[in-house]
Amino acid sequence: MAALALGDDALVLSHRLGEWAGHAPVLEEEVALANIALDLLGQARVLLSLAGDEDELAFLREERAFRNVQLVEQPNGDFAHTIARQLYFSTYQHLLYTRLATTDSELAPLAAKAAKEVAYHQDHAEQWTLRLGDGTAESHERMQHGLDALWRYTGELFQPVPGLDIDWQTLREQWTTTVTTVIEKATLTVPEGPQSGAWTAGAGREGLHTESFGRMLAEMQHLHRSHPGASW
Amino acid sequence: MATAHKAPDVARDGAAAAAVVTDITELEAVFDAAVAADERIEPRDWMPDAYRATLVRQIAQHAHSEIIGMQPEANWITRAPSLRRKAILMAKVQDEAGHGLYLYSAAETLGVSRDELLDKLHSGRQKYSSIFNYPTLTWADVGAIGWLVDGAAITNQVPLCRCSYGPYARAMVRVCKEESFHQRQGYELLLALSRGTPEQHAMAQDAVDRWWWPSLMMFGPPDAESSHSEQSMTWKIKRHSNDELRQRFVDICVPQAESLGLTLPDPDLRWNEERGEHDFGPIDWSEFWSVLKGNGPCNEQRLTQRKQAHDEGAWVRDAAAAYAAKHSDHDKDRRPAAPGTPAEATA
């Protein structure tokens, strides 16, 4: 379950970042976003392979069987929205992997390697949060909007994942401290309001997703499903 | 080590420079001798205006092609049929953005800016390779682009590694290494399809049928109609004619198509024992000129997407610039303000 949950997180966010290819605001970001997407896809492949066959799991499961958090499936929106998603998620992933690396979990070796990649993702997200937050009036407003809009998906990050020996409460405190520091340094305001929808509790981990996710899977899985049994 | 063709460096050597020749015919002679001796021309060397202009045009077009060329392939990233293929494709599209960056940097050594060149691309004053105006309709197109389009690009670009202009030649060395890798991946993708189910085989054949002729057009018009060729060859920007490179490409592709188990869509294609090369059928140059003039299947779509990405990203670039202006000097408190700096700029 743990490998599947973390693998789905990485797979789905990688897919969303892949949608940016050819649309980024500046060439350097074409490289950076693709780079992060590739790192995540690499992590997803290792994790899903621990859980079964990577392609069967990615292309032949339906929406209700995916275990990713809802945060990573959120549509890209504008660049600030994407960066807010990256800030929330990469901070979480970095804290989680760093801890996981010290446990005796079978995921520890992967976590140790991935923590290095994720530290880079986190730095990228933080640097852009600062630039957008403390850039122009427009970028400030957009960045604040991205942070606000995605805040309600952050509570789910700290729902315990069965099989992972992690102190989730401490993880949550560290995440909150880190994210707060960056947001405030960026002259932005930490969103208030609930960190989850009223009807959810670890919904993504239980296979309950948001509406855009089904469409994302339809696109991702279409070709593979059109040729049953084919190899590529 | 000083080379024969170094022009006097006025900034470094002001007094001596005054005494040194500024006679243009003499500078030209030094330049021509350097090119003839296969020496590299570097950014600070004197060069004829037309040489500079030709290089700016060619390198910019090359950079633009990398950037526009991301689109037909990125079109399939979200639909790639396996995670391995998806990773390969993402890495490839990322490499293309990187190639665009090297090439814009090489162009900038000639005194133009990336922004200026992008503006010319967006306004249609500079072109990109006509091949990217064709659509990617199936997954197999990703393989056909790798094998044929990248293959044609490599055939064109390997000689550019010896181009007379140093920064361009060095960029090409890096680009060609990665392109060769992409080409092998494209070939391997097609091979998997060709050996797969009948549907997959048909998909691969259809893609090759659609991409073959446009790939041959990538070498440019026939030698007789190529306006820039002769001068570029004299300057050693180009090393081979369009038709020579096209022939070389056909000769490479024929056996590869055979081992792929796919056919090339040309009934006139056959080995010519006498010439030791393949004969091949006539190219539809009317299609080539039409695509080049903006009437290909995707010209409008490609440019619109590029402009849209740029325009929609303006606020992000503005934010980065505004942030940099505010935070560029971390130790500004310890440094006196530059004379004439408005108060707001350092606030």
For residue B332, the tally of other CB atoms under 10 A from its CB is: 12
Q: Which of the four pLDDT bands, split at 50, 70 and 90, describes residue B258? A: very high
In a domain, A232, yes or no: no
Q: B136, B142 in Cβ contact below 8 A?
A: yes
Residue of B nearest to A83 (CA): B316
How many domains does chain A divide into?
A: 1
Contact B199 A230 (CB under 8 A): yes
Against a cut of 0.90, is the pTM above it?
yes
Identify the pLDDT of residue A196: 76
Identify the pLDDT of residue B226: 79
Mind telling me how many Å the CA of B292 is from chain A's nearest CA? 22
With 50 as the cut, is the pLDDT of residue B340 above it? Answer: no
As a whole number, mean pLDDT of residues A19-27 equals 97
Best B68, B90, B137, B178 member to test A by mutation, with max A CBs in 10 Å, is B90
In a domain, A153, yes or no: yes
Q: Which residue has the higher pLDDT, B317 or B227?
A: B317
In a domain, A34, yes or no: yes
d(CA A189, CA A183): 6
As a whole number, mean pLDDT of residues B107-124 equals 97
ipTM of the complex: 0.97
Handedness of CA B256, B260, B266, B270 (dihedral sign): positive
A220 contacts chain B (CB < 8 A): yes
With 60 as the cut, is the pLDDT of residue B334 above it? Answer: no
- Model confidence pLDDT, tens digit, residues B203-227: 999 999 999 999 999 999 999 887 7
Contact B80 A59 (CB under 8 A): no
- Residues in chain A within 8 Å Cβ distance of B139: 223, 232
First-to-final CA distance of chain B: 47
In a domain, A231, yes or no: no
CATH number of domain containing A16: 1.20.1260.10
d(CA B253, CA B255): 6
Q: Which domains does chain B have, with CATH numbers?
A: 28-312 (1.20.1260.10)
A12 contacts chain B (CB < 8 A): no
Contact A48 B82 (CB under 8 A): no
Least confident of A189-193, B180-184, B328-332: B328-332
Q: Name the residue with tokens 């020996």.
A: A165
Q: B296 by DSSP, 3-state: which?
A: coil
- Residues in chain B within 8 Å Cβ distance of A26: 313, 316-317, 320
Contact A27 B100 (CB under 8 A): yes
Structural domain boundaries, residue A80? 1-226
Residue of A nearest to B198 (CA): A230
With 50 as the cut, is the pLDDT of residue B345 above it? Answer: no
Q: A62 by DSSP, 3-state: which?
A: coil
- The values of phi and psi at residue A183, to 5°, are -60, -45
